[in-house]
Amino acid sequence: MSGERLAMIDHVATKGVLARGFPGASVVVGRDGAVVWSKGYGSLDWSAESGPVDPSRTVYDLASLTKVVATTTAIMVLYDRGRIRLDDPVARYLPAFRNGERRRVTIRQLLEHTSGLPAGREIPRHMTTSRAVRRLILSTPLQHAPGTVQVYSDVGADVLGFVVEAVSGEPLNDFVRRNVFRPLGMANTRFRPPRGWRARIAPTEYSSRRQRQLRGEVHDETAAALGGVAGHAGLFSTAHDLAVFAQMMLNGGSYNGRHIVKASTVALFTRRSAGWRALGWETCAGGASCGQHMSEHAFGHTGFTGTSLWIDPDQDLFVIVLSNRIHERRDGLVPPAAVLADVRADVADIAELSVLDDGVEPPMPDGTRADRANGWSR
C-alpha cells in the first residue's frame, strides 16, 4: 500500500475535527491480515479537559452496528450449527408470530428488512419494564405483506435478537459474548459497559427522556427501554476490537486459530440478495460511507451515533471509523451530518486508492469531499 496516500487520512479526519463536525474519531484500516493505519483524532467530548481518542481504548456506542456485529453474527452462528434455517417462519420460535400474516414472516425476511414490520415502535413513557417493552415489540403489527416491501426496521432486528434468545436459551448479550467476543479476544466489546469503563467512553447526547447526559448508556431509547440489550442497538466497542471482528470476516469466519463460523456462511450472509442488501449486512452501492471505490462484494454497516464498518474481500481490506458525531457542541447545536458523512467516505476512498497492484498507483480524484466541505456550515 502507499503510505503517502494513507497519510491523507490525517488531512480529512483533522479537517472534520477542526470543522467541529465531531469531537473525535477512531480510524483503523487493515489489509492482508495487518492493521496498516490506526489513529485517534480529537477528543472524547467538547470539553477542554477531555482526553484524546485512542483506537485501542476509546469506547463508542456502536448504535446500529449492533445489528451486524452482534445480532446477525449470532444468527450466523446458529445457522452454522444447524439450529435455524433462513426460511424458517419466525413463529416456529416465537409464539407471538403465530397469528395472521405474521405467521408468514421468515428469518430471511427479517435479515433482508422485507418482513413487513415498520421501521420502529414508539415506547410509551409509562412502560418501565423491559418485559413489557418486549411484549409491545413482539405485538407490532405488519405494515406490509411479508416479502413485498423493503423497510429498514429496528423492530425486525429486535425480533431477530429474540429469536437468538429463544433458540439458544440465553440472553443475546451472553450468547454473543460466549460464542463471538470472548473467543476472538474482544475484551472491550459488550452491552451495558461497566462503570469502570466510563472515563474512556465517548459520550453521545443529552437524553431529555432520561434527563441526563449519556455516557456508557445506550443512546437509542428503545434499546434503553429493553434494558440496554437489543437486537438493533446497545453494543459498545473500540476500533481495535472491531478490527479483530473484521479480520475474522475476511478470514472466512476464523481468527487466530479460533473458529466462529464456516467460510460458506460468511459468503452466504454477505452476498447481495435483496436489492443492495445482504443478510443483515448492507453492500456498497457506491457513495455514502463506503465511498466510490469499494468493490461490488464489499459489505458493511453504519450506526446513527457516528459509526461505520466496511469490509472489501476483493482487496482483503477493512475500514473502521468510529465517532460520536451526535454529541452536542457547546453552542448547543448538533454538528452537521455532512461533515462525518464526507470524512468517512473520504477515508474509505483513500484506503482503496492506497492499494498498489503490481506497484501501479490508481489515479487520485481532484481533491476530497472534506476539501469541498459542501454542507459543512449551517
Which of 267, 266, 299, 306 has the alpha carbon at shortest distance from 284?
A: 299
**Which helix (H) or strand (E) covers residue 342, if one does?**
helix 337-353
Lookup: cell for 316? 482483503
Lookup: cell for 302? 453504519
Q: Which amino acid is at 136?
A: L
CB 30 within 8 A of CB 50: no
Is 2 annotated as catalytic?
no
* Catalytic-labelled residue, pool 26, 64, 254, 323: 64
CB 15 within 8 A of CB 296: no
Residues 6+ apart with CB under 8 A from 365: 349
Beta bridge partners of 35: 30
**Grid cell 484524546 in the structure block, residue:** 52
CB 146 within 8 A of CB 113: no
DSSP string for 34-73: EEEEEEEEEBSSSSTTPPBP-TTT-BEE-GGGHIIIIIIH
* Structure letter (DSSP) for residue 106: B
CB 46 within 8 A of CB 23: yes
List residues with catalytic annotation: 64
